[in-house]
Structure 1
């Protein structure tokens, strides 16, 4: 590149999706510059649950959210929380969420999620093999367990719904569960095993290895905050806190922070909100579970990683500005009590909070607009890690000018 603030295409966002896309674009011969206010992988990609969630083909909420709304407002430690102070801003988003649960809209969402998820495992296999890091993904399935006998009805209904969507799923008895995970409690009645899923040994390491591969392909990284942008005849100019970055094209892939720049460049106001997700990392827990295990009743996930056992899964709607409530992260340890024969060791545990970018129809935006000058890849809610590699492949095709009618469900103009 002639100058460090010029490129053929600039990627705004150095999370898992932005970095995967940058690598894909560089391999297509593009001069790529990645710009982010944080170091690569230090946003939501740093602390996600690490679960390759190909089984999650249903929207982030269903009509039962109406019954749960009082608890969401009153219980600060509940698995799904809506901050009172944020309610006025969140209400229009929630109304759109409910409208998207009408039968036709719901089926469009399920079809859109299923399409991306069905291509996710293969895309990740290709991407990790291409950088010599296939060992970072364990393709050993995942498990959803239940403890109360009365939960069996809901579990059977979920299994039937997933089978109807082509999701590979098996019912396991409590004995079968404890055969592969003997440290789980006798209270576990059984669960659903998903053989087509897996987990990453360290999501942050995955981002780092992709960054290394991207740099080897000539991708440059700038740690600057993008403040504004404009289009002109030659492409795009981005105003940052350290100057101006220019390029022929821009890819907006900055997760929950994507709405403002999208509006500046396209004139489109996107109904993007954020699910604030928490995790608690237990560094002294290395032998408890063979793969990711989710509790049906307690509504959180436990994923074994190189750095220990990660507990994750709570959702909080409170926007981008309010400080984190780390008690929600510590609540995850309390939720784990009773799931194991012996309680988990929380010595030296570290809490974390990050922003999951969510749209009211639970589908991301993957699109090419403004005569090809603006590419979009954001809004993947809690499936950003799962869908990152397949999104990168689709963005590469869009950047190459290919007609992609199969991406219709993810177009910007659906809003």
Structure 2
């Protein structure tokens, strides 16, 4: 069977699924993109818009353990755990702690570095073909410090530099020269020169999807509840419809666990609930031009077409508990200490359009699952990208396309294999 006749379903139309569909379609496959909600309606719509190639360090580190009591007591802190959800999340945390040991952490860091290395460059030809180059801005980003002493800031700087990240250490004056709207409470910053951002992550995702459609990709709005693997093809089903494909890519983000379990796989995924708050920018003469993250407050501010997006925080509360929008409101109070030109915002009378909550699919080793299913040759996983979904979209699409083509991948993907959680 030729590629032109081979049918491939990509389940999940977030930025990962869209990139997989686009690149598979461009390589001659007959692609159907399937999603229960629409194009980019999850984290791809509400993320911070930051192409975070500087984030090469796994989240699991021993320093977090000493902060656990505080995390449990502060429901509006940078990281919170719902008491109702704590028993459910504990097994994941035990695996997370197991990845804190130096050897494992270093191995995971090297794997993240390999993924991030070409992440932005691989987007550029896709965006050019989609007439969406204007949606990628390459002005770097800042990590600012208010109260951290210079010795500790220098230590952070050296850690990034030694990991091969392009970074500069700036004092207050140098920081204000780059971004005049930054608050004078900020004393130092790390300037990551090679990263980028998008002014509209939702449009970014939709633009790539529209390009895929122009090449022939078909979209179906459908919730897949069952996946049946057969020797010659794969059947996808919901309550009213059955579809048959030669190959299937699972890119369903936080909802991947059920499909993996149907195929007999353990996927130890948790759901980091992230929040954002959108506010207008009050001083256009000193408008922010690049993302600014706070080292102490653990959130990020990104300039977007509508103004500013305040995003971040981590909440472990599963998929079913209602959103705690007080966490979104708290981002505004933090932003007042990072920028000096923040618009007034009434936390008591917000609009639904300003606040958002989404689910980051997180693995205990901070590595996504990218690869062929261990026991199902025509099924591929592209899930668990945690805080790097937008960043790694083009990379993941390239790797999945190489796998479907039967080619050698351009980098070693063994660290991302589902086998690491499913050893006999």
Whether contact under 8 Å (2:368, 2:416) holds in the other structure is yes
1:128 Cα deviation from its structure 2 partner: 1.0
Q: Deviations over 1:189-222 (max 9, x none)?
A: 0200000101011000011111111111111111
Residues 1:411 and 2:409 aligned together: no
- The ranges of structure 1 where at least 4 consecutive aligned residues each deviate by more than 2 angstroms after the TM superposition are 150-154, 283-288, 338-349, 369-372
Q: In structure 1, which of residues 395, 398, 405 is the aligned counterpart of residue 400 of structure 2? A: 395
Shift of 1:61: 3.4
SS at match of 2:390: helix
Contact 2:282 2:342 in 1 (8 A): no
- Within the candidate set 201, 216, 219, 1:218 is matched to 216
Tell me the distance in 2 between the aligned counterparts of 1:342 and 1:358: 34
Match of residue 254 from structure 2: 256
C-alpha distance in 2 between matches for 1:354 and 1:340: 25
Match of 1:270 in 2: 267
Q: What whole-Å deviation, never above 9, does each CA across 1:3-60 have from its counterpart, x for those lacking one? A: xxx9711111000000111000001111111111111100111000000100000012
Q: What is residue 77 of structure 2 aligned with on the other side?
A: 78
What pairs up with 1:9-408 in 2 under 5 angstroms? 9-148=8-147, 150-265=148-263, 267-285=264-282, 287=284, 288-346=287-345, 350-369=354-373, 370-404=375-409, 406-408=412-414
Query: Are the equivalent residues in 2 in contact too, given 1:46–1:204 (CA < 8 A)?
Result: yes
Alpha-carbon shift at residue 232 of structure 1 (Å): 0.6
Of 249-258 and 401-410, deviating more is 401-410
5+ residue gaps, structure 1, are 1-5
| Whole-angstrom CA distance in 1 between matches of 2:240 and 2:220 | 10
Distance (Å, rounded) in 2 between the aligned partners of 1:27 and 1:341: 46
TM (norm. structure 2) is 0.93
CA contact under 8 A between 1:284 and 1:345: conserved in structure 2? Answer: no
Q: What does the per-residue CA deviation read over 1:303-358, in whole Å, with 9 as the maximum and x for residues that have no partner?
A: 00112100001000111111111110011001112223344333666110000000
Q: How many angstroms apart in 1 are the aligned matches of 2:70 and 2:282?
A: 32
Q: What does the per-residue CA deviation read over 1:102-160, in whole Å, with 9 as the maximum and x for residues that have no partner?
A: 11110111011101111101111222122121110000000011111x43233211111
Deviation per residue, 1:268-299 (Å, 9 max, x gap): 11101111000001135574311000111111
State the distance in 1 between where 2:60 and 2:125 align: 31
Q: 1:345-387, CA deviations, whole angstroms, 9 ceiling, x for partnerless residues?
A: 3366611000000000000011012352101101000000001
Query: Partners in 2 of 1:202 and 1:340 — Cα distance?
Result: 21
- Paired residue secondary structure (2:8): strand
- Number of residue pairs the alignment of both structures matches: 408
**Alpha-carbon contact 1:275-1:315 (below 8 Å) kept:** yes
Relative to structure 1, the CA distance from residue 371 to residue 76 in structure 2 (aligned partners, 3 Å threshold; closer, same or farther) is closer
Q: 1:136 to 1:29 in 2, by over 3 A?
A: same
Q: Distance in 1 between matches of 2:24 and 2:73?
A: 46
* TM superposition shift of 1:183: 1.7
Q: In the aligned structure 1, how far is the partner of 2:95 from the partner of 2:164?
A: 28
Work out the CA distance in 2 between the residues paired with 1:146 and 1:49. 19
- Say if 1:120 and 1:387, in contact at 8 Å, map to a contact too: yes
TM-score by length of 1: 0.95
When residues 128 and 11 of structure 1 are mapped into structure 2, their CA distance, relative to the original with a 3 A threshold, is: same
CA RMSD of aligned residues (A): 1.6
| Aligned 8 A contact 1:286 1:305 in 2 | no
Change (3 A) 1:284 1:334: same
